[in-house]
Amino acid sequence: MTERPRQYILAREGWIHVAVVLLAAAAVQWWAGWVWALPLWLLVLFVVQFFRDPPRRIPDEPAAVISPADGRIIAVDEVHDPYLDRTARRISIFMNVFNVHANRIPVSGTVRQRWYHPGRFVNAALDKASSENERNALWIHADEDCEVVVVQVAGLIARRILCYAGEGDRVQRGERFGFIRFGSRVDIFLPAGSSIRVALGDRVAGGRDVLASLPH
């Protein structure tokens, strides 16, 4: 079983970042006063809000696909799934720098395969980011006996995709499985018969909001 981080209000991926800017702000205020330190204290607030990781109440609705990320729905369409070579329904979520960037498992099941693709860092809001940017994909065989692929996509300034789930892992809906730093996108490919329950422009919260229902 791949090791995964425990749940905290502040993501463990941000502890070093917060510590560095906090010490820098304190040092500048000690030596030069609060006026000079003010920009650094504002930076502390930004870094803390970026790495926040609030607990979420996970829906227990049967066959529900929950959002793997916080953000705005920027694509709801029928596409060719490049990972499983099938026609699939795709939902894409864009995360800006003010969203929670922890990623959550959308369906309960078993991870069949994981793919990592190096790539570019174009604006994650652009459709070509799904195929050109650095990305990490998980193929999950859901308990409903169907296949779901969730893809972490790096963004314009994102330079680090973290994933804690691996092939053979048993995963639970709403479980935290990864993190993307500083603006990014998450795509989810669902079976063609899935019922979509969100629309373009909707704001969703990872681990809380239902995106779709899997076919029975």
Residues noted as catalytic: 184
Asked whether 152 and 178 are in contact (CB, 8 A), the reply is yes
Q: How far apart are CA 17 and CA 35, in angstroms?
A: 22
Beta strands in 68-200 (DSSP E): 71-81, 86-95, 102-104, 109-117, 135-142, 147-154, 161-163, 170-171, 176-180, 184-191, 195-196
Task: Give the integer Cα–Cα distance in Å for 4 and 151.
Answer: 18
Grouping H, G, I as helix, E, B as strand and the rest as coil, residue 162 is: strand
Question: Sheet holding 210-213: strands in order across?
Answer: 64-66, 210-213, 195-196
